[in-house]
Structure 1
Amino acid sequence: MTDVHTTSRRNFLVLSGISALAAAGCGTASGSGTRNTTTLRYQGSAGAVTPPELAESLGYLGDVKLEWVGNTTSGPQDIQSAAAGQSDFGGAFNGAVVKLASRKAPVKAVVSYYGSDEHAYSGYFVGEKSPIRTARDLIGKKVGMNTLGAHAEALLDIYLKKNGLSRAEAEQVERIVVPPVNTEQALRQRQIDVAVLSGILRDKALETGGIRKLFSDYDLRGAFSAGTYVLTERFIEQNPQTVRTFVTGVGKALDWSRATPRDEVVARFTEIVAKRKRNESADALKYWRSYGVAGSSGRIAEEELAVWADWLTERGDIKPGRVKVGELYTNEFNGAGAAKGS
């Protein structure tokens, strides 16, 4: 069992900002023209298939090839790697994208890739016999999550505010960083009072029993896209055709995953994992239900970024007016389905 440890939220956010700011001056492409590269470097996720990987398998990326450079440790790390030129695209929670942009990193969101719906959601679970029933019961309690300053903490804040807690009261709810694979165990051993669980880890915990859901992000906001892939503005400027192929392909793959029977999607995922030979288990794939993306073909809605810009501003993490949400994203390169806006 990995030791559960606390992390200063403020220190985490400051360090993230410094990393992002340092990354902002770096680009990924060189030369000129409309298609300087047909290879996109990226970070994957063990035992999972990302929308770009699915798009490549389905032939939706054409002559554009993906080059795996390792697995990401978190969304903020993934997009900072893209900003620093260590990869060509990265994906993260939209709040992390806003925060990176607030540090003047020259990145732009181009397509949504994950979200929450009735099948793909993050649940906040307590022990079956826990006295915690309401938001106010969380004061003085520990909530275990994979990282701070991202999706899990943002939705916790929204839940607390929606249920009448003041900012001072909300700050008394302790947020604890726990590796996802250890979160259920930490809850059952009462090292934490609430566990944020999603995907296979959520489903396996529910199968075991003895826990109950306090709330979920889907309960709070309904279906919504929560994260986007970003590229540097320089890369986009120098490789517009490659970007168009990539974004359109990801959009088509998302649409395919919705329109295709689940068993066929899982079979395709299993085939992809087997072919890439990364010494990983495909067991989690049988629990897949949805990517959770709300918009058609992964198109980005301004509200999906604006809500987190407001959250970060309210927390004091970015100054009012620091970011112009309309400039943080574009749907210009998404040719999948019927085009809707830019």
Structure 2
Amino acid sequence: MELKDFDYYLPKELIAQHPSSVRDECRLMVLDKRTGEIEHKIFKDIIDYLNPGDCMVLNDTRVMPARLIGSKKETGGKIEFLLLKRLDGDNWETLVKPGKRAKVGTVFTFGDGSLEAEVKKVCDDGNRIIEFHYEGIFEEILDKLGEMPLPPYITERLEDKEQYQTVYSKNEGSAAAPTAGLHFTEELLAKIRDKGIKIVFLTLHVGLGTFRPVKVDKIEEHHMHSEYYILSKESADIINTTKENGGKVISVGTTSTRTLETIASEDGRVREQSGWTDIYIYPGYKYKIVDALITNFHLPESTLIMLVSALSTREIILNAYEKAVKERYRFFSFGDAMFIK
């Protein structure tokens, strides 16, 4: 398939620059994946589409304040580091701007000097391996000095870091939020549980590769980034029991979906597991475990719009996106939601 097959027109003003003031009162498009029928709702109406015996799967990863603004120790030249993943000890893989200032052996300092970083290696893709030096607890220093690594299409500053965290975020390690989960409140989750829907958690630490554009014309030639996931035995057992009893597995977000489909066997079962996934889901893929998906509206020509197209059809999804533009839905990370049932 061609990359251009997943393009659509999006007016710039529909890219949400800030989250909804009340998480569960954003808009919700409900899409029938087989017929293409569309309903327009409010997000908290999602409960009306969930049935006792169903299981909803959420990603409990927590975003690190992974953006550090610092300066070269020798000259004072400004530098920006984006922490991608911890390798071992205090060594991290990072994205650096401007990269030409980050030569091996160069030392950078942040904030009041309580954190320093030394460049240890330049990777083939231009990323840097750096080693941090500090006294105290790294996470506390990072929380004080770091900023949220918002996607490049969000240009407004975030006043409250928690706005870019789900209310159930727990395991820190992501460079970006699992944004479909931003719409849930504690109250809505309680109502969903009270209705008899099981809520289970997995962890997938979202990497910045999720924003990396596809640069090949033939989508089959694209190579996915790798992300770390964990699924517990307790969660796996509940998901399996749901399938055995005829309930639906509703995945919240593309990150939960990628994890479930990585772990799932051909007969639609999952097991306790952790590891790295580079699963690439696009039309033609047969879902093994996910029956329905709660998601946001994704970038044109992105692997995420390919993933949701595989759950339905490309034509149905692009028609829904066209309707979303016409109805002035808000798009991307802080935007409105879609439920593909």
TM-score, with structure 2 as normaliser: 0.24
More helix, by proportion: 1
TM-score, with structure 1 as normaliser: 0.24
More strand, by proportion: 2
